[in-house]
A and B are shown apart, each in its own frame.
Chain A
Amino acid sequence: MGEWSFLGDFLEKVHKHSTVVGKVWLTVLFIFRMLVLGTAAESSWGDEQSDFMCDTQQPGCENVCYDKAFPISHVRFWVLQIIFVSTPSLVYMGHAMHTVRMEEKRKMKEAEIEAREKKNGGDTYYQQKCSVAEKETKLSGWDEAGGQIILRGSLLNTYVYSILIRTAMEVAFIVGQYILYGIFLETLYICQRAPCPHPVNCYVSRPTEKNVFIVFMLAVAVLSLFLSLAELYHLGWKKAKERCSRSYKASPSTAPGRLESAPQAERAQMYTPPPDFNQCLSSPNGKFISPFSNKMASQQNTANFATERVHGQEDAAGEGPFIKSSYVESPEVASECAAPVFPENYFNEKRRFSKASRASSKARSDDLSV
């Protein structure tokens, strides 16, 4: 299974920046496809040619009949399927990494502006910072609060296209498998090809065991297809909901930054924040957790499920970005400008939370009463 670690390492990175359904899809890919292929299916197909017997003494007849019966072995076909189905996620990850880099550059620029302004005198500081921050945050898909990527704008488009291409690949490979082999393998294959002197009976090795694995891999492919479609539906539905709630919001937002931030602060305290995004930038040789230590993944999933439940209640408000990969709602940028002091404290408090900290609903001294 070490052979799959090349792909496994890349996909671990993708795992961090996917939606919940995306994470489930990746787990299905790792466990039910890669692991099963590497351990069980390989050994089942191991002797496929050596035990392919033809009822003839003619030298070369077995070779050509095997070649005609299996133009490409099932195992190799599934390897190609897994690789092609994973490739769109890698493209999305490339875009996400690019977003991170842009965000880092933006932070550096902001720091430079800050330093320059401090030299010149601080009157125009907040105005400039607000306008720059507002523009850049809207363009980038970066959430200051949670340190996670928000699926928005071009990044969301990339994500949706990657799922669409993934779906198309799955369908193509499932159809391809059906065209090449049908669904089940027959025990007997009748072959007529030079140099075989006449139609010859050839017998496939372990047909029943192979059929079990073929059906299993087909079922997992259909499940993956279903998960991809569910993810598309989930994204599309959220977008439609967002559009509807935006169209109903007739009056502009009157709530000042402070009042809005307080319930958000409470909400922030109700769930464990996801792990810091900067983890993905730290490793020197690019290696990450092995694909099969899913403890962090399950912790992340628990956090995500918790946040999703919370956000199911507050989605009616229709504010903030419509899809969040880590489901941390970012405060309105306007509020950041209007009340600069409070949000910064809010961010600092959030960053002190550890992954495993249990949320406390105790009232704190600096909570605002609403």
Chain B
Amino acid sequence: MDWGTLQAILGGVNKHSTSIGKIWLTVLFIFRIMILVVAAERVWGDEQQDFVCNTLQPGCRNVCYDHFFPISHIRLWALQLIFVSTPALLVAMHVAYTRHEKKRRFRNGEKIDIEELKNEKIHIRGPLWWTYTSSIFFRIIFEAIFMYVFYYMYDGYQMPRLVKCNAWPCPNTVDCFVSRPTEKTTFTIFMLAVSGICMMLNLAELCYLVIKICMKESRKTT
């Protein structure tokens, strides 16, 4: 999986984020994407090959694996990372649109703050504030949804060592053994913890933005 493209896109968003947003981005890249690519993919690499069932019945192992792992953890995490990063693209699009508008107005002869245009530093104000805030809100929602999906699909966050399978064509209840359950549990809990941290960061950023705008409004009225 090539995460370099995502890094290139999100790197641009980094410039227009708050400090907390930058920390969130760093945590995302180092503690989630990197761990996923470097470590977790190897751990789950042989999950179907080494899923062993105590039966000689052909097809039973396949069916049992499919029954207990409808979608692998790795793929779910990849989806989670993509969904969680996507709202930032909204911000990037808005910033690009704003800049395009400014250039157009400048060309039409209106007086524009040239310094701001040159520096490419766009402050989070007005409609951009709404885009940014809603992007953070959606990030939080997506994180929560995926954390719940993990919990619901795998009955908690622990990987069982033994699963009992009764699906056809298995002739009776068959013992199936998952490969590397302890290591998988370790990484599941690690990724869960980092998701939690990211959610906290997003909540903090949201509070920070809301408080800042409230203080600005109160200063304007007084």
Which A residues are closer than 8 A to B by beta carbons?
A: 2-7, 10, 42, 49-50, 58-60, 62-64, 66-67, 70-73, 75-76, 79-80, 83, 87, 90, 94, 98, 194-195, 284-287
- Beyond A64-B161, A64-B177, whether A90 also contacts B50 by CB under 8 A is no
- Pairwise interchain contact B11-A285, C-beta atoms closer than 8 A: yes
Among the 9-residue stretches B29-37, B76-84, B89-97, B134-142, the one with 4 or more Cβ atoms under 8 Å from chain A is B29-37
Bound-complex Cα distance A79 to B180 (A): 17
- Beyond A7-B34, A66-B180, A72-B182, whether A286 also contacts B14 by CB under 8 A is yes
Among the 9-residue stretches B39-47, B62-70, B206-214, the one with 4 or more Cβ atoms under 8 Å from chain A is B39-47
- Pairwise interchain contact B26-A79, C-beta atoms closer than 8 A: no
Listed by A's residue number, 19 A-B pairs whose Cβ atoms lie within 8 Å are A4-B38, A6-B29, A6-B30, A58-B54, A59-B175, A60-B52, A60-B54, A60-B176, A63-B52, A63-B177, A70-B183, A73-B42, A76-B43, A79-B39, A80-B35, A90-B26, A94-B23, A98-B19, A195-B177
Bound-complex Cα distance A305 to B172 (A): 74
Cβ of B178 under 8 Å from chain A:
yes
Bound-complex Cα distance A72 to B184 (A): 9
Residues of chain B within 8 A (CB-CB) of A286 are 11, 14
Residues of chain B within 8 A (CB-CB) of A80 are 35, 39, 190
Bound-complex Cα distance A329 to B178 (A): 62
Closest chain A residue to B177, Cβ basis? A60
Cβ of B186 under 8 Å from chain A:
yes
Cβ of B7 under 8 Å from chain A:
yes
Closest chain A residue to B23, Cβ basis? A94
- Pairwise interchain contact A72-B183, C-beta atoms closer than 8 A: yes
**A interface SS class:** helix
- Pairwise interchain contact B12-A72, C-beta atoms closer than 8 A: no
Bound-complex Cα distance A2 to B2 (A): 10
Number of interface residues of B (CB under 8 A): 43
Closest chain B residue to A71, Cβ basis? B182
Closest chain B residue to A72, Cβ basis? B183
- Pairwise interchain contact A79-B182, C-beta atoms closer than 8 A: no
**B interface SS class:** helix
Shortest Cβ distance from residue A306 to the other chain B in the assembled complex, whole angstroms: 34
Residues of chain B within 8 A (CB-CB) of A75 are 39, 42
- Beyond A7-B34, A83-B30, whether A49 also contacts B39 by CB under 8 A is no
Shortest Cβ distance from residue B113 to the other chain A in the assembled complex, whole angstroms: 14
Which B residues are closer than 8 A to A by beta carbons?
A: 3-4, 7-8, 11-12, 14, 19, 22-23, 26, 29-31, 33-35, 37-39, 42-43, 46, 49-50, 52-55, 161-162, 175-183, 186-187, 190
Residues of chain A within 8 A (CB-CB) of B23 are 94
Given contacts A59-B177, A79-B39, A80-B35, 15 further A-B contacts (CB under 8 A): A6-B34, A58-B54, A64-B177, A67-B179, A67-B180, A71-B186, A72-B182, A73-B42, A76-B43, A79-B38, A83-B34, A90-B26, A195-B175, A285-B8, A286-B11
Bound-complex Cα distance A3 to B42 (A): 13
Residues of chain A within 8 A (CB-CB) of B186 are 71-72
Q: Top 5 A-B pairs ranked by shortest CB distance?
A: A60-B177, A63-B177, A285-B11, A71-B182, A286-B11
- Beyond A79-B35, A90-B26, A286-B14, whether A63 also contacts B183 by CB under 8 A is no
Bound-complex Cα distance A284 to B23 (A): 18
Residues of chain B within 8 A (CB-CB) of A2 are 4
Bound-complex Cα distance A284 to B8 (A): 10
- Pairwise interchain contact B183-A71, C-beta atoms closer than 8 A: yes
Residues of chain B within 8 A (CB-CB) of A71 are 182-183, 186
Closest chain B residue to A62, Cβ basis? B52
Bound-complex Cα distance A60 to B51 (A): 8
Residues of chain B within 8 A (CB-CB) of A59 are 52-55, 175, 177
Bound-complex Cα distance A195 to B34 (A): 36
Bound-complex Cα distance A195 to B162 (A): 10
Residues of chain A within 8 A (CB-CB) of B54 are 58-60, 195
- Pairwise interchain contact B38-A287, C-beta atoms closer than 8 A: no
Closest chain B residue to A84, Cβ basis? B31
- Pairwise interchain contact B162-A60, C-beta atoms closer than 8 A: yes
Closest chain A residue to B33, Cβ basis? A6
Shortest Cβ distance from residue B5 to the other chain A in the assembled complex, whole angstroms: 11
Shortest Cβ distance from residue B177 to the other chain A in the assembled complex, whole angstroms: 3
Residues of chain A within 8 A (CB-CB) of B177 are 59-60, 63-64, 195
> Which one, A3, A73, A90, A285, contacts B12 given CB within 8 A?
A285
